[in-house]
A and B are shown apart, each in its own frame.
Chain A
Amino acid sequence: MSILSNIINAAKEVVEVARTTAQGMSVTLSHIPQKKDTVSYPDEPVQIYRRFRGEHFLDVNEDGKERCVSCFLCAAACPADAIYIEGAEDPRPYEQRASMDHRYAKVYQIDYGRCILCGFCVDACPTDAINHGHNFEWAVYTPGELVKDKDYLLGNKWREPDVTPTEKQRPLAAKQKHDKFNITLK
Chain B
Amino acid sequence: MRSNNAGCRFGVCQRKTDFMETVKLTINGQEVTAPKGELLIEACEMNGVYLPRFCHYRGLTPQASCRMCVVRVDNPKIPKLQTACTMPVTDGMAVTTDSQEIEDVRAAMIEFLLSNHPVDCPVCDRAGECELQDQTYGFGEDRTRSQYDDKDNYLERQISPFIYNDPQRCVTCKRCTRVCEEWMDENAITVLNRGASTVISAFSGWVECSDCGNCVDVCPTGTLLHVPYKYVARPWDLKQTPTVCNFCSDGCSVLAGTRGENLIRNVARDGRGRTAGGINHDFLCSLGRYTVDFVHSKDRLDRPMIRRGEHLIPTTWDDALQHVAQRLGELKAQHGGDSVGVISAARLLNEDQFTLRKFADDVLQTKHAEYYHDDDEIDLASFFRYGAPTIATQAHLQNADTILLIGSDPNEENPLTAFSIRWAVRQKAARLITVNAMPSRLERQANISLRVREGSEGAFVQALLDDAKLNDAAAALGVKAEDLQAVRKAVAESGRVVVVFGDELRGAAVEALALLESALAAPSAEAADAAKKAYIDALQRQVKSSNSTQKPSINENPYTYIVEHPTLEVGAEPVRTETKFSFLPLVRYSNTMGAGLVGMHSDDKGGMSAHAMINAAGGGIKALFIAGEDVVSKANGEASRVSTQLAKLDFLVVQDMFLTETAKLADVVFPVTSYAEAQGTQVNNGMQIQFVRRAIPPVGQARPDWMVVNQLAKLMGVDFGYQGQLKTIFKQIADAVPGCAGLSHNLLVNEGATQISLPQPEQSKINRADVLERLAGQVAKINRNVAVDAAALTAKAGTRLKQRYPQITQHSEMLTPELPQGVEAAAPAPLVFPA
Contact = CB atoms under 8 A, between A and B. Distances in A.
Nearest to B234: A72
B237 A72 contact: yes
A111 B402 CA distance: 62
Interface string B208-243: 000000000000000000000011111011000000
Interface stretch (A17-25, A49-57, A85-93, A131-139): A85-93
B158 to A, nearest CB: 10
B122 A69 contact: yes
B39 interface: no
A69 B236 CA distance: 17
Interface in A44-100: 69-73, 75-76, 86-89
Interface string B231-262: 11110110000000000000000000000000
B122 A89 contact: no
Nearest to B820: A91
B237 A89 contact: no
A77 to B, nearest CB: 11
Contacts, number: 33
B126 to A, nearest CB: 12
Interface of B: 121-123, 127, 230-234, 236-237
A71 B128 CA distance: 10
Contacts of A73: 122
A127 B122 CA distance: 9
Nearest to B821: A91
B236 A103 contact: no
Contact of A75 (B121, B123, B231, B237): B237
B234 A103 contact: no
* Most chain B beta-carbon contacts within 10 A, residue among A69, A72, A101: A72
B123 A71 contact: yes
A126 interface: yes
Instruction: Give the 5 A-B CB pairs with smallest separation, nearest first.
Output: A71-B122, A87-B231, A72-B234, A103-B123, A126-B122
A28 B230 CA distance: 66
Interface in A115-129: 126-127
B236 A71 contact: no
Nearest to A126: B122
Contacts of B232: 86-87
21 contacts: A69-B122, A70-B123, A71-B121, A71-B234, A72-B233, A72-B234, A72-B236, A72-B237, A75-B234, A75-B237, A76-B234, A76-B236, A76-B237, A86-B232, A87-B232, A87-B233, A101-B123, A103-B123, A126-B121, A126-B122, A127-B122
A126 B123 CA distance: 10
A86 B122 CA distance: 14
Given A101-B123, A126-B122, A89 B230 contact: yes
Contact of B123 (A69, A76, A86, A88): A69
B419 to A, nearest CB: 32
Given A71-B123, A72-B236, A87-B232, 14 more contacts: A69-B122, A71-B234, A72-B234, A72-B237, A75-B234, A76-B234, A76-B236, A76-B237, A87-B233, A89-B231, A101-B123, A102-B123, A103-B231, A126-B122
Contacts of B121: 71, 126
Nearest to A68: B122
A88 B231 contact: yes
A87 B234 CA distance: 9
Contacts of B234: 71-72, 75-76
Contact of B127 (A71, A75, A88, A127): A71
A142 B304 CA distance: 33
A126 B234 CA distance: 16
A130 to B, nearest CB: 13
A120 to B, nearest CB: 15
A102 to B, nearest CB: 8
A88 to B, nearest CB: 6
Contacts of A126: 121-122
A70 B120 CA distance: 12
Nearest to A72: B234
A16 B233 CA distance: 72
B370 to A, nearest CB: 45
Contacts of B237: 72, 75-76
A120 B447 CA distance: 62
A81 B20 CA distance: 50
Contacts of A71: 121-123, 127, 234
Contacts of B236: 72, 76
Contacts of B230: 89
B157 to A, nearest CB: 11
Contacts of A127: 122
A176 B237 CA distance: 41
Contacts of A69: 122-123
Contacts of B123: 69-71, 101-103
* Most chain B beta-carbon contacts within 10 A, residue among A70, A86, A87, A127: A87
A133 B347 CA distance: 55
A38 to B, nearest CB: 44
